[in-house]
Structure 1
Amino acid sequence: MNRLLRTVFLTLVGLFIVAPLIVILVASVSTDEVLSGLPSGFTTRWLSDALANDQFQVGFAYSIRVAAIATAWAVVLGTSAAYAIHRFDVPGKSLLRAVFIAPLSLPRVVAGFCFFVLYASLVPAAYGTVGGVAFAHVLLLLPFVVSLVGAGLANLDPELEEAARDLGATPWQAFLRVTLPRIRVSMIIAAVFGFLTSFDEVDLSVFLMPADTTTLPVAIFLRLQQNQDPVTSAVSSLMIVGSLALTGLVALAARRAGLFATRKERM
């Protein structure tokens, strides 16, 4: 009975999570302009219109560039911070860890407004640029990178690095040859999660760019304010499928490379 209740509970939770996604996917291929029940037919017209939309094309390219730059910087800075926290006797280590996690508790609308004021008052040239938006996104991604990479470092015996140094390796060589290969799974997960988080960001990004040059999520948001049509559902469904496909491909590639292999399988 307990097993049955757990199964029913998990099934209901799963349906609660995926139900909105299913509705969007169905609406994007339905012939009905307003989905109020079961679709009366199916079509790819809305998907074609979404792919041909100039605003969405520009937003997609903009989002890719912003997410790639923000993810790269977040992984480098977050990995360095996590390594320093877990491997060095840093004063105020607990406080420093809390500082890196603090952006999670800051509303993104507030963060976006703060960056808008910062750019408007000090660096107006950064407003609306790929670098300016990516710099703001790094603030959102650092907590995830520090937490995920820190978890990988917590499970790694520091004596392995000490042994490498005893054998003549420099600290940098010990990190590259001993530590980095063993935390690469955490870094890959952090990079994928960070890229998708940056790509999907709306609340912060909407403050940092003009209406004629926006990321794809902001372009969707602005279109929803004017017109709620199936084209918006179509581009949203493409984002859903693309995110799931990227996550699946990375997981498959990592598994084939042996990154998720157990200790017994490696032996």
Structure 2
Amino acid sequence: MTALVKALRWAWITACAVFITAPLLIVLVASVSTDHVLTGWPSGFTLEWIRTALSYEPFQVGFLYSIEVAALATVIALALGVPAAYAIARLDLPGTGLLRSIFVAPLSLPRVVTGFSFFVLYVSLMPTAYGTVGGVALAHVLLLLPFVISVVGSGLAGLDPQLEAAARDLGATPWRAFRQVTLPQIRLSLVIAAVFGFLTSFDEVDTSVFLMPAGTTTLPVAIFLRLEQNQDPTTSAVSSLMIAGSLLLAGLTAVALRRSGLFGTGRNEQKEQA
């Protein structure tokens, strides 16, 4: 029975992996296919579509714009999300449950609705923010906060609050105790939240499409606009580059974390406490 359960478990994991990766593989194959429309196995392979995507000016401008927006949104989301996660996890405040629900609420709101709401806000009250890096990043912060608070909150939940309390008893201020005791122990959660938030903001299209003019767009919006005009595999090529870039960033982050020893921090601390 145990062998059967293990076999079924691995079969389920394999099926899920195929289900998730199959669309990505189709995009990757379409980006190097000589066929304009991929209906089966490609009749040949070429790098023409990738060269076209790299030389297409709206994609170049959109890439730089997306980098600026994602970086700013990630920094703001961390600056707001870390204190919020700490307050929810550690401070005995009234209405903590309500505060947690408020931060998680954007997850239940369609992103199209979020984008249109910010569009109305900017047009009616903040017209100078429309189409700017700060205006788009502010909308993305609303989408990133639930993830940042969840990831950082899970990191805080695994820590012993008595360590920070001991630092305060020894004369450290609350800020110094947090900075020197708690913050180093949640570095892994902070890095994961930052990378995930950056990639989420960089790939956002449903909200961004409402917040910028056609001449100044993020890369995902530029892809969306090109799809409306042309159905060639150039969009598949730039999508493949985005997939490769995301995997590269995640891989480099994992290697950096492993070399820094952060992956083993939790296990080592548990052994030392034991």
TM above 0.5, one fold?
yes
The question of 1:93 aligning with 2:117 is answered no
The question of 1:40 aligning with 2:36 is answered no
The question of 1:138 aligning with 2:158 is answered no
- Structure 1 residues 168-207: Cα deviation after superposition (integer angstroms, max 9, x where no partner): 2111111111000001111110110000000000000000
- Structure 1 residues 73-98: Cα deviation after superposition (integer angstroms, max 9, x where no partner): 00110001011112212210000001
Aligned position for 1:115: 118
| Secondary structure class of the residue paired with 1:83 | helix
The question of 1:128 aligning with 2:131 is answered yes
Which amino acid in 2 is paired with 1:219? A
Report how far residue 166 of structure 1 moved.
1.3
Aligned position for 1:195: 198
Equivalent residue for 1:4, pick from 2, 7, 15: 7
In structure 1, distance between residues paired with 2:96 and 2:7 = 45
Aligned position for 2:231: 228
Aligned position for 1:148: 151
Aligned position for 1:176: 179
In structure 1, distance between residues paired with 2:12 and 2:70 = 36
Structure 2 spans left out of the alignment, 5+ residues: none
Report how far residue 2 of structure 1 moved.
2.3
Equivalent residue for 1:30, pick from 30, 33, 36: 33
Aligned position for 2:62: 59
CA RMSD of aligned residues (A): 1.1
Which amino acid in 1 is paired with 2:111? R
What is the TM-score normalised by the length of structure 1? 0.98
Report how far residue 49 of structure 1 moved.
0.7
In structure 2, distance between residues paired with 1:251 and 1:160 = 28
What is the TM-score normalised by the length of structure 2? 0.95
Superposition misfits of 4+ residues, deviation over 3 angstroms: 262-267
Which amino acid in 2 is paired with 1:50? A
Aligned position for 1:258: 261
The question of 1:76 aligning with 2:49 is answered no
| Secondary structure class of the residue paired with 2:65 | helix
In structure 2, distance between residues paired with 1:264 and 1:49 = 48
Residues 120 and 245 of structure 1, relative CA distance in 2, 3 Å threshold? same
Structure 1 spans left out of the alignment, 5+ residues: none
Aligned position for 2:252: 249
- Structure 1 residues 92-115: Cα deviation after superposition (integer angstroms, max 9, x where no partner): 000000100000000000000000
Equivalent residue for 1:239, pick from 220, 239, 242: 242
In structure 1, distance between residues paired with 2:267 and 2:213 = 54
Which amino acid in 1 is paired with 2:118? F
Residues 185 and 137 of structure 1, relative CA distance in 2, 3 Å threshold? same
| Secondary structure class of the residue paired with 1:35 | coil
In structure 1, distance between residues paired with 2:184 and 2:140 = 27
In structure 1, distance between residues paired with 2:146 and 2:267 = 32
Aligned residue pair count: 267
In structure 1, distance between residues paired with 2:265 and 2:133 = 40
| Secondary structure class of the residue paired with 2:67 | helix
Instruction: Tell me the percent identity.
Output: 70
